[in-house]
Structures are given as C-alpha cells and as structure tokens.
Structure 1
Amino acid sequence: MNINVFSCPKILLTNVRSIRNKVDEFEATLSKYKIDLAVVTETWLNAETENLATIPGYQHFNKMRVGRKGGGVSVYSVDRLIMNHTEHHDQCNFECLWCCITIPNNIRRLKHLYVGAIYYPPAAAGAEQLVSHVIETVDRIRSANHEVPIIILVRKAPIGSSDHVSVLMKPITCLPKNDHFAVKIRPMKDSSMRQFGQWLVDYEWNNVYDLMDTNDKTVMLATTLQNAYYSNFPTELLKMRSTDHPWLTKRVKQLIKQRQKAYVKFGKSSKWKKLRNGVQKAIMDVKKSYYQDAISGLHNSDSSKWHKNVGKLCNLNQKQSFSIPGLNEKETAESINQHFADVCCQLPALDQNNLPAYLPSSQPPPEIYPGQVQRLLQSIKPKKAGHPEDLPAKLLRECAFELAPPITNVFNCALKAGTFPDRWKHATVVPVPKIKGANTCNDLRPISLTPLLARTFETFLVNWIIEDISVKLDSRQFGSRKGASTTHYLISLIDSVLKDTDASLLIEASIPEWVSLDDLDDWCKANNMLPKPSKCHVMTINFLRNASEFQPFTLNNTILECVGNLKLLGVTIQDNMKWDMHVTDIVSKASRKMFALFVMRRSRASVNDLIKVFCCYIRPILEYACPVWHGAITKKLAHKIEAVQKRALRTILGKNYISYDLALEETQLLSLAARRESLVLSFGQGLIKSALHRDMLPPCRKRKLNLRSNGGNLEVPKCKTDRYIVNLLNSK
C-alpha cells in the first residue's frame, strides 16, 4: 500500500463455505493480490476450530453462528493496519461483525475505516430487523466520523470449491485535480445602488417616449438600462476552486500548505505535529463561525439565504451533467438547441385568416397605469432568474417607482399595436434532465428564461384572460388555477377509478368524455398534440374475477407498452391500487436526504436548526400528496414511513436519544401518522369551504343528526369494496 499517494486499503469480500479446508488457498489469494483487508462470510467456524483459520501477518476477528452449525463471519486485517473490534455494535442476534480500522501515515484523506461483515442466509427471517440494525449502526458511526474512500469493484474467481464469486475493491490513486477558475461578477454594493438610483431620478426618458414603434421602444429601454447598469456596477474577478468547501478560508489554506511542507521536509516531527494541531483547530473554528454567520438565525430573518447556505453546505442542489458521446461542449449545446427548436417547427404556424370574425377586437385594449406596474415590480423575488441581458431582479424591485413610468409606456404601446416585442421573444433555455442518467436530448426538459419585463407584461395578459374565461373552465381543470394542486387532481382521478371499479365498470381511458380511446390518435393530430409513444403507457385496472383482455392500443402506429405501475405527478400508482411501491420510493428518497443531518451536525448546528433541516428537506418527501394514499396504506407501510423520522431524531439528538416517544416530546414534533391525519382533515375541510372543489365531496345530509362521528353531516354513498371505503372522499 503506497501511503505517499493515497492510503486506502485494498479490500476482498468473499464467501468461502467453510474456511478450514481452504486456509492455504485463501492465504495464497491474500498474498497474490496484496489484500490489506478481507471480509469472509460462511466461515463455518466454532470455538474449537477458530484457531485453525489464522493467517500469518494478519489480525483476525470472528463471530460465530449461535444455535446451529454453519454461517459465521470473519475480518482479516494486515498487521500494519490497526484494527479494533467494536463490540458495542455487535449486540444483536445477527451474524454481524463491526470493526474500526485506523490507517497510519495518512494525514489528509482517510484516517478511520469502519467495516461491517454481515451474512444473511437466503430465505431467513428477520430481514427488516437486520436492516434496522445496519441503519442504526451506520448512523451512530457516521455521527462520529463520516469519511468515505473511493473504491472500484472488480470480480474475481471464487476461493477453492466455493460457488460464490468474490469481490475485490481497489482504491483510486489518481484523484481528480482541483481545477481553479475565475468568475466575473457584478457585486450589488450599497454605493453602486445609490449611484444607480440617483441616475434614475435625474434621467429623462424622452428617448423612449418619443418613439412610436413598439420594438424600437423596447430596444431603447433595454439598451439605456443596460448601459447604466454596466457603468454603475463594474465587474470583479472571483477566483474559485471546484472542490473548495464553503467554509474554507484563505488562512486555513495557508496553514494546510505549511503543514504539508513540514511533512515533506521533516516527516512526523514536532513541528509537523504542531502545525497539524493548528490546522485542526483552525478548521473547527471556521466551521463554527461559518455556521453561525451563514446559517444560524437566518431561518426567520432571511429564509431564502438560509436555504441557499444549507443547500451549499450539505450539497443538496446537485446538478446532473449531460454530454453526447463524440461531441464537445459547444457541439452538444448546438445539438440540444436544435432538438428543442425542432419541436416547435413540427407544429403549423398560426394562420391569422382563420381567426374568428370578432378578432381582432374592435374595442380598445385596457390601459395599464404606473402604479400597477410598480406593484408588480416590487413583488418580483430578488433571487428570480432572468435573461442574461436583464437588470438583476433585485435592482428592478428596489427601483420600481423610478422604472414604472417608462415600462408602462412600452406596455401600453404594445397593447395598442397588438404586437409582442421581438426582443421579449428571445429566451435562454436551460436543459434540465427528466430522468437520472440522461444520455439523449429526449431525456431533457427545456426551462426557458424570458426577460423579466416580458413576464411582468404577461402577468397583465394572463389575469385578463383568466378573468374572461374562468366561468367557462371545466371544474376538473386543476392546472394553473388558484386553489388547485396536483393533490386535487390525483384525488379526483383515484376517486373516479375506485368508484367505477366498485360498480364493476370497466374504465377505458382518462381522456375527455367526447373522445373514445380508439379515436385518441386522430384527436391528438387534429388538436396539434404530439404525444410520444415512448412516454405513453397503458395500465389496466380490473378487479373482476374473469378479466377481459384488451386489444393492444397503438399511437402513431406504435403499440403502447402495458405496465403494472406508473408514476403520475410524483405518485406511483399500481394496477392493484396498493401503495407499497410508492411508500418504498418516498422512503428511499427521504433516506438519501438524511446525509444533510450528518453534515449539519459536523458543522456544530443546533438541535433547532437540525429539526428545521428535517422539516424542510426530508419530511415533505414523506408527506407529499398524502391525502391520496394515507387512508389506504397498511400498518406495515405506515411503520416503514415512521422509521425515517425515528432515524432522523436519533441523528439529531445523538447521545440524548432515549426513545422515540421522548424524542417527539423533546423536539415538539408529531408522529408522521398524526401529521398525515391532520393534513387529510385540513384538506377535507378545504374542500368543504372551496367553491371550486366542493363537488368532489358527497352532498350534505338532508337531516343532520347530533352524532359524535366526524363528518357525520355528509351523505356517504354505499360502497361494495374496502378499496373505495378507505378513499378520502368517503372516509369519515
């Protein structure tokens, strides 16, 4: 092991099925591949044969199976590594062996390595208990030390006559370089803000008012503001490094550099030890000060900055990379741009001659006043992303009063001319992957960043259009409507499915009633809709004993795939109307976010801030659209969800954690089951009070009885199946 490059051990994982008669071959394997650490399962050792499995030059820890023959796990560690058996982690009835390995002569990357040797026999009972034990043990270890090496998995031949394949894990010795790069920024200094504000107060906008053409006005306004912005807010260069921690300061970098020079020149001398201790203390101090300055107390005073700093510290906002094989970055960007442009080119251009006779309107358009524009500009979020040629959103917000008159003039000119300025039609498109591991342009979704002033103008247009057509909108139109959400749509869909299956009716498709399933292809073409067959699936929901078989459905001459489950608006729906796959999905997502709690704990975060991180980033994943599925999950699934919060509280409280009930009381949190009950009740009460969604609930009873039952005032329809009874719209 080359300790001068990267001191991470080479690890072998193997199942030997009795090591007693394979000791010589096992020793030869360790020598041939220069194994530093070996984890062996199914050793079949007992108290009498344990000494027969020792290997010269290796430390050996073993845990035998209790109660019956076979099984057992062992860990072998080369003598130059310091290995300690952490017996307090092995207090369980499973075949688990936990060891802590200290790697000497490693001053930067890896100091401690925790190894868990686990053997779980096929078809054995207690799988959930074993998983819980592993999670709890890992949580305790990560709370104290969270340093993970980089490894590569390589398959090797089995040991002796064993029928199991071994796994060899090698460390990566060529680590990625710390690339330095410079970023141009325009700091929003107070002096620059005052200087720009004074320019706005003194400036006369006659160059905009005197123009008659809408496009000319828009260009003149944008050019004037852009020139003033560039002159009052000069650029600065900010040097950064891709691997820098957010808390890393220039002083800490200098101390690390001095420590490394001392190690190269003097080795582990007293001078090096002094510098090493100084670096460790400096890192602890800057972490604590960074947390106090950048995170602590900001949740109430500046929640946006709090979320930004927490995401940066915990690396919660990871961006997926995308590349096309054989193309460089510029060619990849051109390919993506062409792909998005082709989508629009497939649709026919608007023929104004085919517009209804009453268009364009003979009535003059409404007039916009500066006060209205000012209020909209002041409502812009300071961090809102805009077009590269835009003024920063913060500047538009702060100078709304001075900017309102010229902007209003451009808006009214566009309304009178009946045209949308050409400059506002340009957008910066940000491709966002739809799936993890996107590798084709079809896996990307375009997010268009249009100018902020264009969006402000569109706000007026949208409000007028909605006001005009709101009385004609379908009651089942949930998108882009106030008071409606994805939960409302999913509730309506699931209720209609369960209602029809309860009445032993077959559902053909969830499309407009006036369009049959066979005519869907023609309907899409007539309405300029271009659905992709690869993204369309057929899921049959049928609970009849003698289920009918449907003919394959085709779209664009392509047979659609029949699936047993699909994800709709973030919720996994199964053809048996059960929710085990959805619960497994949300538990997995929430568990991946648990890393944030460990990072925050290492940054000396308070318990209150740890609770806020859990409530903001982890708990919402477990509660999304819970009115859709809460009433239909089993106790086992509810316990699986609750275990995530239990694990989070164990991490938050650390040594102070005694029991789940006491932890809930100390943190003043409700159990997730109680919160779901409250959310469902609140959602139902919202339906009763909503003029838009009141018809989603059963009607009120004609005669109100003074019963203690909740929801006794609603006329609950008769149900034939338990599936429909537990649905929200029929639950009490």
Structure 2
Amino acid sequence: MVVLQAYQADLLKDLDKGQGPSPDEVAELRRTTDLALRATKQAATAMGRSMAAMVVTERHLWVNLADLGKKEKGFLLDAPVSPSELFGTSIETVIEKFREAKARSAAFKTFIPQWTSFVPFLEMFGPGTLGHTRIMYLIDTSERGADDLPDQLLERGHAEQPLIKVTKPVCKEIQVWPEGSSEALQDCFDTTDWSMFKQAATYNNTTDLQEYAETVTAYINKCTEDVTVVKTITVRANQKPWMTGEVYRLLKARNVAFRAGDEASLKTARANLSRGIREAKRQYSRGISHRFKDSRDTRSLWRGIQTITDYKPPPQTCDSTISLLNELNTFFARFEVQNTSTAQKTPPPPGASVRRSLSRINARKAPGPDNIPGRVLRDCAVELTDVFTDIFNISLNQAVVPTCFKATTIIPVPKKSTPSCFNDYHPVALTPILMKCFERLVMQRIKTVLPPSLDPFQFAYQPNRSTDDAISTALHSALTHLDKKDSYVRMLFIDFSSAFNTIIPQQLTQKLVQLGLNTSLCNWLLDFLTGRPQVVRVGSNTSSTIILNTGAPQGCVLSPLLFTLLTHNCTPSHSSNLFVKFADDTTVVGLISKRDETDYRSEVSRLAAWYRDNNLSLNVEKTKEIIVDFRRAHTQHAPLTINGASVERVSSTKFLGVHITEDLSWTNNTTALAKKSQQRLYFLRKPRRARAPAPIMYTFYRGTIESILTSCITVWFGACNVSCQKTLQRIVRAAERIIGVPLPSLQDIYSTRLTRNRLTLHSS
C-alpha cells in the first residue's frame, strides 16, 4: 500500500491581488511543477484502482489537469501535459466511464463509492475551506520525501486566502400558525378563569407576584403550543430561494433511480425534476411580482426588493460552543459592580390601561426569554387585558418586577467575518415583549412628571429634535465665536465604553427623586434594574446564567430615557463652554479667546471627574479633539490630557454621521457620501434588470441612496461649494437614468427641509 501525503505549492502568497509571477518566479515554478508532476505520476501509477482519488482532488480543488499548458492559477509548463501522459491508462478509464454514464449507468455507478470515499481526504487542508489553491500534489512519501521539494514553495495545511466558505446545514425550529389558530386562542383565553392563578399564588392575603406571573406566562405558552405546529427545517447557505418540498421530492426520486441503475426510470425522473424546477421558478417569480402590486404593503414590498438585489443579507452566525458563550456572557457583564444601598418602598397608585399597548405590538418581533410570541399578545389583547393589568398593578404596588419579566437573552452577532476578540461581537438583547409594553406605560408616567426643558442641550429622545439640531447648535456656536477677534475653538468628541451598561441603579434613583418622581416609582425602577438574569444563546446552546445589578439593558424601552435622566445635571460651569449631547455622544465646545484655555481645561477635568463619580467609563483612546483656528499667526496648541492620557488631535472626525474638519469645509463629508451612494447604485440596477416597476425602484432609491445623500442636509448643503454639490447631483442623475423617471434635486430637497424645520420651530 502506497502512503500518500498532500502538499500545497503556494508561490504567489506574498503578491497582492491582481499581480502575477515575475519571470524568475515562473522559471522556478516550472522547475518545481515538473518535479512535483513526475512524483505525482509515479504515485498515480502505484495507486492503480485508487486512481479515483485524483479525480476528487481535481474536482474539488480547481486543478485543471487536462489543460496545464495554459496559464492556470499562475502556473506555466514548458509543454501541455495530457491526462494519459500524467496518469497512464487509469485516468482514461475513469474519464471514459464519465462519458458513457448515460449509456451504462449500472457500470458507472460502481465507481461512485470509490469517488465519494476519498472526499474526507481533503479535511487535512481545513474543514469547510477551499482557497486560492495554486496546485495540489499527491506525493509518494514512501519513496520520495518532502525534503526533495523546495521549502519556500511548499506549505502544508490551509490555503492562505480562503475564497469559499462551506457552511454546515443549520436545523431550525419554526412555529407555524394554522388557519383559525388565533381565533382558537381567543376563545381559550376568553373562557379562562384568570382569578384562579392569583388565588393559587396568594398566601396570607399577600400575592406572590413571581409565582403569579410565571404561572400565567406558562399557561399562555401551553395554549399557544396546543394551537400551533412546530416544524424543523434545514437551512443551507447555498439553498436556492425557489426550492420547494416538491422539488426536494423529485430530486430524491431521481437519486433513487440513479442508484438502482434503471435507465428508463432515471430518464423519467430527470424529466420530472426538470419540469418541477421550472414550475417552482415560475411560482417564485409570480410571488415576487405580487409583492410589487400593492405599494401599501411595505413589508412584502421590501422583501421582494431585497430578494432581487440581495441588499443587506442576514448576518453570519456565531460559534455556538458553550465555553465561548460563557466567556461572552462574562465579557458582556464586565461592568458589574456591587450595589449595597437600599431604599424604602411605598405602595404606588394603580397602573394604566394595557389593552392599547398590547394591540400595538409588532407581531414579527422576536420573542424574549418567556417565549411568548408577539402575535399572541396582539391578537388576544382583549382577552389578556384584565390579567396583565392586574399583574402590572400588583407590580407597581409592591415595587417588584417579576424575574421572568427582567430576564435577558443575548444573541452575539459577529462584526467581522473572522472575530479575533470579544469586542468583535455585537450583543443583541432580547427581552420579553410583554415587559416592553409595561415599560411604555411607565415611561408615559415618568414623562408627565418631568419638566419640559429639563436638558435643553440633550437632543436625543426629545420631540422635534434630531441630529441636525445637535450638529447645527455646535457649529453655530463655533462660527459665531470665530467672528470675534483673537479667538479659536476646541471641540472635544467624547467616547464612552458601553455607557448604558455602567449605570448604577442606586445613583439613578436618587436623581429621579430629585426630579420629582414619587418614591414608589423610583423603587420600582430600582427593582427593574437589579437582579436581572442574563444568558448568551446561539442556536440551541445557552450559556450559564449571570445575575446583573448594574446597567440598563439596551434592549429595553426605558434605557435611553433613564440614561438621559442620569446625565441631565451634567452641564458646563463656564459660559465659554458648551455641552452638546445626543444620548451617550457628548461634544464639548470650548470657545477660547486671547489664548486663555483655563476655563476649557478645567471644564474637561471636572467633566472627567463627573463621569468617574457616576461610573461612566471614558474611552480616552477613541476620544478625539479638533481645533478650529483661522488666525493668521498660528501658534502651537498644547495637547489636552484626560486622566493622565493625551487626547489625539485630528484634522477630521465623524460627528453624529457627519464628517467635521478643522477648516469647517465639507469636502471630506461630500466625498464619503458620494462613495457610499455610488456603491449602492449597483443594487439599484438589479431591480431594473428584473423589470421592476418604476415606483418600486423609486421607493428603493429613496430608502437606500437618497437617505444617504440627504443625511443632515440642512447642516452642510448650504455651505458646500459648487463642485461638491455637482458631485452629489451627478449621482442623482445617474439614478434617474436607471429608474427612468425624474427625481427631485438635492437643492429642492434642501429648500423643502429648511421650510419644514422653520415651521416646526415656529409651532413649538
């Protein structure tokens, strides 16, 4: 038995994309290739019946053995080498069997077990990875060792630039709602005596809210399982969207006929499969066309456009090993600190109506850890109003939130194709949909207590305010100050590390009491933010549970409002400084005159101390500073330091999606917008090839291209030079030619939005 070892010749590994080998490299390549081919020929002759393995190597690793005389993957030979010269008669026998497959299926099928048995041979190059393989050799190591081949040209193992990722099929469980299932649930909940759940959880005239909520949610889940059907489906990365169950059945019948060796049955099965595929494609095409007919159904409309353009495909999945999930769970909870302060709880007033909140639930939202679908809560809002109103009122009265309502499931989504650290995973938090409804009711109650002008320079989560207003406020203050003599501006763009996750609930509730919120509601918020179970889940694997008592979960409705209330008293102490806040994005504008930076530097030091006292982690490495100085006599500006570290001074940075430069020009911003918009013109051309209606293409243009070109347009378009405006307008004209209908110019959009903003300011 001949022992074979696989090697990879990778001469071009150090070359950039698109470069070819140099003449010296080609000469060395020829010598190495000839040597390897001679060794391969000897190994092939000795293999005899196992010659089918060479066919597998050729088929899976893109080595064109029949046409090595041409330039193939960067390889050249002095003369063409035919399969017969390389392998003798064995390879010809296999090729002949391939050619005669239709005539002699029964004889050909005897080669299939040999052909498939050598597929695992490729696993030594890395499972699921096929790369820029220059050529693969099977060397007879029993007579010729690896030392006979040049070391600099041979590497064992993975190809260095993977091109194809082979993804394993993923099994998923989906919940199917048969016809009439919603009506059956409504009848079930309408006839349910909900008071028995409360009676069972009441001990000594005190209701155990935890038991009450858990039994009600478990009962709802049980009823939902009774009227729905759970199916297990297999999702493959290369699965065509038109594949149906009927096509799979015909494909299976074709394979059975092939294995049986019945030529007549095989011919019939192939014909049936071809007809089934054509019909499946026609049905799929009709389904997409139907989505374009009703422009009011935006969800179906967008799904049809996304299918044609492949715009924003679903993100890749994360590795589901339990050890990785536990490490990620610990990493996401790294800001946890010990909280020891307590507050006295007092009975709160009754809660508000729940029916309206339940009826507005988005049925397509992913369920949280309680597994109650949004469709159940929305369709059965009338039947479930009384029991959930009772649970919410008891929760407010006792200032206790059931643990099952506070649970959070984190779904890690990789930010990169190959994550290298925990920061390369984006945590997506899933919380119970029912709790989101409750949070909205509480949020309405909080807003009624707060003064309307609580934080005039907080532009997030406020009515009639946007990023345009935040940027305009910062730039207007800077430009107004620069008109003065001997003045310049320093703008500090502060970055936090997971700002929401570092909130101390006890400090937050103390500030809420100062704002006028009653003690019972503050205690309810304290219980809501503490004792929160958190797990990380990927597929069917789940990490161990961690209990959190710090931070506000980002998947909750109340978290943004609570963060703004925490930072409402973070205001400048000097009139020459300005804090512009948009959620956790804070910008310090220092208006400096006569080179006196004392107020600015002391303000930054005081701000850093405030963040430290409130447990907000300031990321100095990502914090940037821009100095706008138009004076003729330029001076060297001393660097700014925060917590002993110097802040990087940059000439340009991104501020709320807009590129700001130290000369306050808009060339960088225009270039970035033009580049991003031109890339999306590619997706706009796909619907035209599919002959999509012009109104549909216009809708897609507005959502993907116009939204980019007009982002914060009221801030920068009027200050752009003519060249920048023409650059962006050319993209609009290119989209006009693609769609075939006139589009509004950027100047018209700019004027319209200015008028709308003026009317909004006047009405407010």
Structure 1 length-normalised TM: 0.62
TM-aligned CA deviation for residue 183 of structure 1: 1.6
Match of 1:677 among 728, 747, 751: 751
Match of 1:342 among 298, 310, 334: 334
8 A Cα contact 1:479 1:485, kept in partner: yes
Partner Cα separation in structure 1 for residue 282 and residue 432 of structure 2: 43
8 A Cα contact 1:248 1:286, kept in partner: no
Partner Cα separation in structure 1 for residue 743 and residue 195 of structure 2: 60
Q: 3-state SS of the aligned residue for 1:648?
A: helix
Q: Does 1:688 align with 2:758?
A: no
TM-aligned CA deviation for residue 417 of structure 1: 0.8
Partner Cα separation in structure 2 for residue 434 and residue 564 of structure 1: 27
Partner Cα separation in structure 1 for residue 455 and residue 603 of structure 2: 19
TM-aligned CA deviation for residue 454 of structure 1: 1.3
Output one character per residue of 1:149-188: Cα deviation in whole Å (capped at 9) or x when no partner: x99599xxxxxxxxxxxxxxx9999955464333211112
Output one character per residue of 1:55-106: Cα deviation in whole Å (capped at 9) or x when no partner: xx999xxxxxxxxxxxxxxxxxx99xxxxxxxxxxxxxxxxxxxxxxxxx9x
Partner Cα separation in structure 2 for residue 317 and residue 480 of structure 1: 27
1:586 corresponds in structure 2 to 673
TM-aligned CA deviation for residue 237 of structure 1: 1.8
Kindly tell me: are residues 275 and 672 of structure 1, through their superposed partners in 2, closer, same or farther at Cα, counting changes over 3 Å? Answer: farther
TM-aligned CA deviation for residue 298 of structure 1: 3.9
Q: Does 1:563 align with 2:650?
A: yes
Match of 1:366 among 344, 349, 370: 349
Q: Structure 2: which amino acid aligns with 1:497? A: A
TM-aligned CA deviation for residue 216 of structure 1: 2.1
Matches for 1:10-29 after TM superposition, within 5 Å:
none
Q: Choose between structure 1 and 2 for higher RCO, CA contacts under 8 A separated by at least 6 residues.
A: 2
8 A Cα contact 1:209 1:406, kept in partner: no
2:471 corresponds in structure 1 to 490
TM-aligned CA deviation for residue 395 of structure 1: 1.7
Partner Cα separation in structure 2 for residue 26 and residue 604 of structure 1: 49
Match of 2:171 among 167, 171, 182: 182
Q: Does 1:507 align with 2:489?
A: yes
Kindly tell me: are residues 424 and 433 of structure 1, through their superposed partners in 2, closer, same or farther at Cα, counting changes over 3 Å? Answer: same
Partner Cα separation in structure 1 for residue 394 and residue 350 of structure 2: 10
8 A Cα contact 2:171 2:234, kept in partner: yes
Q: Does 1:538 align with 2:625?
A: yes
TM-aligned CA deviation for residue 399 of structure 1: 0.8
Matches for 1:175-214 after TM superposition, within 5 Å:
176-177=165-166, 179-210=168-199, 211=202, 212-214=207-209
8 A Cα contact 1:287 1:603, kept in partner: no
Match of 2:240 among 222, 228, 245: 245
1:291 corresponds in structure 2 to 288
Q: Structure 2: which amino acid aligns with 1:290? A: G
Output one character per residue of 1:97-153: Cα deviation in whole Å (capped at 9) or x when no partner: xxxxxxxx9xxxxxxxxxxxxxxxxxxxxxxxxxxxxxxxxxxxxxxxxxxxx9959
Q: 3-state SS of the aligned residue for 1:528?
A: coil
Match of 1:452 among 412, 433, 442: 433
1:469 corresponds in structure 2 to 450
1:236 corresponds in structure 2 to 231
Q: Structure 2: which amino acid aligns with 1:400? A: A
8 A Cα contact 2:714 2:753, kept in partner: yes
1:616 corresponds in structure 2 to 703
Output one character per residue of 1:567-607: Cα deviation in whole Å (capped at 9) or x when no partner: 12222211221122222222222233333334333444223
TM-aligned CA deviation for residue 255 of structure 1: 8.1
TM-aligned CA deviation for residue 231 of structure 1: 2.0
Q: 3-state SS of the aligned residue for 1:534?
A: coil
8 A Cα contact 1:429 1:448, kept in partner: yes
Q: Structure 1: which amino acid aligns with 2:756? A: S
Q: Does 1:519 align with 2:502?
A: no
Partner Cα separation in structure 1 for residue 254 and residue 681 of structure 2: 34
Matches for 1:400-439 after TM superposition, within 5 Å:
400-432=381-413, 439=420
Partner Cα separation in structure 1 for residue 664 and residue 307 of structure 2: 39
Partner Cα separation in structure 2 for residue 650 and residue 272 of structure 1: 47
Partner Cα separation in structure 1 for residue 626 and residue 415 of structure 2: 21
Partner Cα separation in structure 1 for residue 416 and residue 606 of structure 2: 30
Partner Cα separation in structure 2 for residue 28 and residue 506 of structure 1: 64
TM-aligned CA deviation for residue 451 of structure 1: 1.0
Partner Cα separation in structure 2 for residue 473 and residue 520 of structure 1: 19
TM-aligned CA deviation for residue 31 of structure 1: 8.7
TM-aligned CA deviation for residue 197 of structure 1: 1.5
Q: Percent identity?
A: 20
TM-aligned CA deviation for residue 406 of structure 1: 0.3
Q: 3-state SS of the aligned residue for 1:182?
A: strand
TM-aligned CA deviation for residue 25 of structure 1: 9.7
Output one character per residue of 1:513-557: Cα deviation in whole Å (capped at 9) or x when no partner: 227123332221122211122221222222222334333333333
8 A Cα contact 1:288 1:603, kept in partner: no
8 A Cα contact 1:209 1:409, kept in partner: no
Q: 3-state SS of the aligned residue for 1:430?
A: strand
Kindly tell me: are residues 438 and 309 of structure 1, through their superposed partners in 2, closer, same or farther at Cα, counting changes over 3 Å? Answer: farther
Q: Structure 2: which amino acid aligns with 1:337? A: N
Kindly tell me: are residues 173 and 398 of structure 1, through their superposed partners in 2, closer, same or farther at Cα, counting changes over 3 Å? Answer: closer
Partner Cα separation in structure 1 for residue 754 and residue 654 of structure 2: 21
Partner Cα separation in structure 2 for residue 398 and residue 462 of structure 1: 24
Task: Structure 2 unaligned segments of length 5 or more: list them.
Answer: 1-15, 34-68, 72-78, 81-98, 100-129, 135-158, 493-569, 574-601
1:647 corresponds in structure 2 to 734
Q: 3-state SS of the aligned residue for 1:376?
A: helix
TM-aligned CA deviation for residue 338 of structure 1: 0.8
8 A Cα contact 2:624 2:647, kept in partner: yes
TM-aligned CA deviation for residue 428 of structure 1: 1.4
Partner Cα separation in structure 2 for residue 432 and residue 500 of structure 1: 44
Q: Does 1:217 align with 2:231?
A: no
TM-aligned CA deviation for residue 426 of structure 1: 1.0
Kindly tell me: are residues 673 and 426 of structure 1, through their superposed partners in 2, closer, same or farther at Cα, counting changes over 3 Å? Answer: same
Q: Structure 2: which amino acid aligns with 1:613? A: F
Q: 3-state SS of the aligned residue for 2:653?
A: strand
1:397 corresponds in structure 2 to 378
8 A Cα contact 1:252 1:282, kept in partner: no
Output one character per residue of 1:609-663: Cα deviation in whole Å (capped at 9) or x when no partner: 22221122222111111111111112222222122223333333xxxxxxxxxx4
Task: Structure 1 unaligned segments of length 5 or more: list them.
Answer: 1-10, 17-21, 35-56, 60-77, 80-104, 106-149, 155-169, 354-358, 653-662, 692-732
Q: Structure 1: which amino acid aligns with 2:441? A: F
Kindly tell me: are residues 220 and 13 of structure 1, through their superposed partners in 2, closer, same or farther at Cα, counting changes over 3 Å? Answer: closer
8 A Cα contact 2:684 2:700, kept in partner: yes
Partner Cα separation in structure 2 for residue 252 and residue 643 of structure 1: 46
Give the total of aligned pairs.
517
Kindly tell me: are residues 173 and 574 of structure 1, through their superposed partners in 2, closer, same or farther at Cα, counting changes over 3 Å? Answer: closer
Q: Structure 1: which amino acid aligns with 2:748? A: A
8 A Cα contact 1:593 1:617, kept in partner: yes
Q: 3-state SS of the aligned residue for 1:594?
A: helix
Kindly tell me: are residues 287 and 182 of structure 1, through their superposed partners in 2, closer, same or farther at Cα, counting changes over 3 Å? Answer: same
8 A Cα contact 1:626 1:680, kept in partner: no
Partner Cα separation in structure 2 for residue 25 and residue 532 of structure 1: 51
Output one character per residue of 1:210-230: Cα deviation in whole Å (capped at 9) or x when no partner: 231222222122112112112
Partner Cα separation in structure 1 for residue 393 and residue 690 of structure 2: 53
Matches for 1:589-604 after TM superposition, within 5 Å:
589-604=676-691
